[in-house]
Amino acid sequence: MTLIPSWIEAANAADCPFPVNNLPYGVFSTPSLPPRCGVAIGDQVIDVAALVSSGLVKVDAGLFAAPSWNAFMAAGPSAWQHLRDSLQRLLAADGDRALAESQSTRARVMHALADVTLHLPFTVAEYTDFYAGRHHATNVGTMFRGADNALPPNWLHMPIGYNGRASSVVVSGTDFHRPLGQRKPSGEDNPVFTPCRRLDFELELGAVVGTGNALGAPVSVAKADAMIFGYVLLNDWSARDIQAWEYQPLGPFQAKAFATSISPWIVAGAALAPFRVASPARDVALLPYLQDDNPMLLDIDLAVDLQPEGAAAPTVLARTNARELYYSSAQQLAHHAVGGCPMRTGDLLGSGTISGPNRDSRGSLLELSWGGQEPLTLDTGETRSFLEDGDTVTLRGQANGDGYTVGFGACSGTVLPAIADPFAV
């Protein structure tokens, strides 16, 4: 697909993340307006409720009464496609000129992106994090179990995951304190309670569930694919030392419960449809309920950078691509529901860390520094094995079309010092 030209000139630049081809969904506010649903186009954001009230888009206004896309997501794929078609018709250069030619309507419904504050775009119902990147799983397994036993016996047969904390999912730009917890220093008999010493990021893609399934009703991969409303960038911040002590036998708990950052815009599945690619060759055949007949991975370039406090510019740590995943979001969702688990509107599925085959394509510091044994040198001359207080980590992602870009907006967060006296009254 090529660029769909718009009468909004900024949307036509090849490097603009928000052309007519994209139209991602977010929640914004201004100094005079409370949070509300918006759609990004070029250097502008459209107030969807105001647009609907203008009569230029025929959609149930009640779907946008709250500052969240959940009600609209629950309306299902037909509603999603109708709104997308309507917006593209109004914003395309050769489409309906009603908005383009009405200065008063534009003044009511359009706001400069530079002047708005972005919020969490949907209410997160539940959060599940998977472990669906083969390079990441192999690297981590090699570090802890050796190359011959890197992948657990079940890994090539199903997407492994754990239930996380929806309450700690935050929008890009939300800073967080270094977590506290139990960790067991090497050589010691007992654990200690301290701030995390091995704080890490994880470069992931998040799938946002739009419609759910009934209790006890599994869904096929194709059905799961249709249930996904869109995608966000996701950073599942991780306390590696706390995790190392707590994860056996039930997996991560406090090490993953303090913050998970997502990008502020949900990129619709329809916007990413031209970038679908085939799954990798399988070492072993998947069971029928996990097999996919159509390309379901996504060709999205991903990058992560780190900027220490006071540094003039960030250092790019890694570049990879979402096509490196072994299991698609649809396969993860189908597996999640196969035992009868009811998925709900607003469920968030993290892909797990997305790493590539080379050192500069590893999606976590655990891998980049090989467990701290090979510290990285930043452009400032500083070194990092794990994150320091004041570090800002930013994830970026974009799919590159013919003369256009589909972007997510940055996903960033800054590490604040641990709370000095957490139990003070």
**Residue limits of CATH 2.30.30.230 in the chain:** 9-119
- Output the CA–CA distances (angstroms, integers) from residue 73 to 76, 170, 348, 351, in the order listed: 6, 19, 13, 20
Contact (CB, 8 A) for 202 and 260: no
Active-site residue, 136 included: yes
**Residue limits of CATH 3.90.850.10 in the chain:** 127-416
The whole model's pTM is what?
A: 0.97
Q: What is the pLDDT along the chain (425 residues), one digit of tens a residue?
A: 899 999 999 999 999 999 999 999 999 999 999 999 999 999 999 999 999 999 999 999 999 999 999 999 999 999 999 999 999 999 999 999 999 999 999 999 999 999 999 999 999 999 999 999 999 999 999 998 999 899 999 999 999 999 999 999 999 999 999 999 999 998 999 999 999 999 999 999 999 999 999 999 999 999 999 999 999 999 999 999 999 999 989 889 999 999 999 999 999 999 999 999 999 999 999 999 999 989 999 999 999 999 999 999 999 999 999 999 999 999 999 999 999 999 999 999 999 999 999 999 999 999 999 999 999 999 999 999 999 999 999 999 999 999 999 999 999 999 999 999 888 86
Q: Which CATH architecture has domain 127-416?
A: Alpha-Beta Complex (3.90)
9-119, what's its fold? SH3 type barrels. (2.30.30)
Contact (CB, 8 A) for 365 and 385: yes
Cα–Cα distance for residue pair 92/315, rounded to 1 Å: 37
Give 343's Cβ-side CA count (13 Å radius). 32
Point out the catalytic residue in the list 111, 119, 135, 136: 136
- pLDDT for 425 equals 62
Give 158's Cβ-side CA count (13 Å radius). 15
